Amino acid sequence: MRLHICAVGRLRAGPERALIDDYLGRASKAGRSRGLGPVNVTEVEDRKGGGMGAEAALLSRAVPKGARVVALDERGKLMSSPDFSKRLADWRDTGCADVAFVIGGADGLDPALRARADLCLSFGPMVWPHMLARVMLAEQIYRAVSILAGSPYHRA
């Protein structure tokens, strides 16, 4: 099952990029034998200033046809890392070919995009900058792969 991170904004070189590249590289390598990956990142940018609606249209075009959509949103569901890994495994095991994680811009996700998501996922009630949300998502994807592989990375 291919994983996609579809996010508003361009991530420049720096510590966040280095962390994301590291976690996604590890996830893609370890996930191969588990039927997870590769992990692709698609960045979109609303250059016309159309707001959340325009960002939602760009994100929707970045999501592969037929993909399960996971919206990252502070109003979403709180999940433990083992529950997150189980959800990915369940989707994989039922024949899902693609899962797309969508991350909005500074104002969040358009309500219509959030409403059509298969899962709204929260990293807690605090609001996180979208660049840090990408880092946290990349780490949780790697952790999910590690849990499914029985790796000692996740110590619960």
Sequence ranges of the domains in the chain:
2-149
Model pTM score = 0.94
Three-state SS for the chain is CEEEEEEECCCCCCHHHHHHHHHHHHHHHHHHHHCCCCEEEEEECCCCCCHHHHHHHHHHHHCCCCCEEEEEEEEEEECCHHHHHHHHHHHHHCCCCEEEEEECECCECCHHHHHCCCEEEECCCCCCCHHHHHHHHHHHHHHHHHHHHCCCCCCC
Q: Tens-of-pLDDT digits for all 156 residues of the chain?
A: 999 999 999 989 999 999 999 999 999 999 999 999 999 999 999 888 888 999 999 999 999 999 999 999 999 999 999 999 999 999 999 999 999 999 999 889 999 999 999 999 999 988 888 889 999 999 999 999 999 999 888 876
- Left if phi > 0, otherwise alpha if psi is -120 to 50, otherwise beta: which for 7? beta
Answer whether CATH 3.40.1280.10 is correct for domain 2-149: yes
